[in-house]
Amino acid sequence: MIVFPNAKINLGLRVMAKRPDGYHNLETIFYPIPLCDVLEGIRAEKPAFTLSGVPVDGPPEKNLCIRALKLLSKDFDIPAISFHLHKNIPLGAGMGGGSADATFTLKLISELCRIDLTPQQLKEYALQIGSDCPFFLLNQPALGTGRGELLEPVSIPALSGKKLLVVYPGIHINTAWAFSQVQPSGSATAWNTILSAEPDSWNGMLVNDFEAPVLAAYPELLTLKTTLLSSGAVFAGMSGSGSTFYGIYNELPPAAHRLFPPEYRIWEFPIL
């Protein structure tokens, strides 16, 4: 069985308050994009896990796919499965690649091994792995609150027909460090107002609380954002805790890859 875990971007991200359990309450719009890893799982004589594509730090047993397998193995008799993960989504980029891989592993195992899990059970397992994992079960534009697991599907008609330029500059941002740099705002965001407005009015309204400290620590990212805006983006923002930035365009600039250093990774997507 082969599945294709996809990435996401965040349209705004507000850190509202630190919780007694150590997590933070957030508000964000999760938006799926068609940049995908490839995960294959087949029944085998003995378990295996191999990797290719974007290098992944750490031993295989620390991979979130294996964490998902171990989580289900506590409650179910899982036969030997051989996994191969081909990574396209960069790590530490704010695009949710690891969370997507783990969530799609849960779904793959449940289907391959015919484990009859309800959507709520899948969500509970996913949340044990990561706060944004439940989003990849829904996998459609959604307002995320709580830790990010409380999801309300949203419609963003103003994005219809727009184009998306996603740029990863190769800088790994440590999520724990990013949270340590943010003072929770606690102020409500008028999401309905923002999402009903044209993207060219989002500047100043659609805020990612991680963006200011990340730009202060990595000034080259300000150049990246400025380039997106100067090349015609009607809105540009950072995804998650960085370092990926995206620009929303009416029409993409020609030869967009030439706008950035050659080591940057760049993707272009239509918004349907």
Query: Which residue has tokens 């509970």?
Result: 124
Tell whether 96 is in a known binding site. Answer: yes
Tell whether 100 is in a known binding site. Answer: yes
Tell whether 5 is in a known binding site. Answer: no
Taking a C-beta distance cutoff of 8 angstroms, is the pair 136, 42 a contact? Answer: no
Tell whether 98 is in a known binding site. Answer: yes
Tell whether 165 is in a known binding site. Answer: no
How many CB atoms lie under 10 A from the CB of residue 2? 11
Give the C-alpha separation, 121 to 138, whole Å: 14
Tell whether 91 is in a known binding site. Answer: yes
Tell whether 144 is in a known binding site. Answer: no
Nearest by Cα to 19 from 100, 131, 121, 94:
131
Q: Is 132 a catalytic residue?
A: yes
Tell whether 196 is in a known binding site. Answer: no
Tell whether 240 is in a known binding site. Answer: no
Nearest by Cα to 8 from 39, 37, 30:
30
Tell whether 247 is in a known binding site. Answer: no
Name the catalytic one among 37, 87, 123, 132: 132
Tell whether 92 is in a known binding site. Answer: yes
Binding-site residues for ATP: 90-100
Binding-site residues: 90-100
Catalytic residues: 8, 132
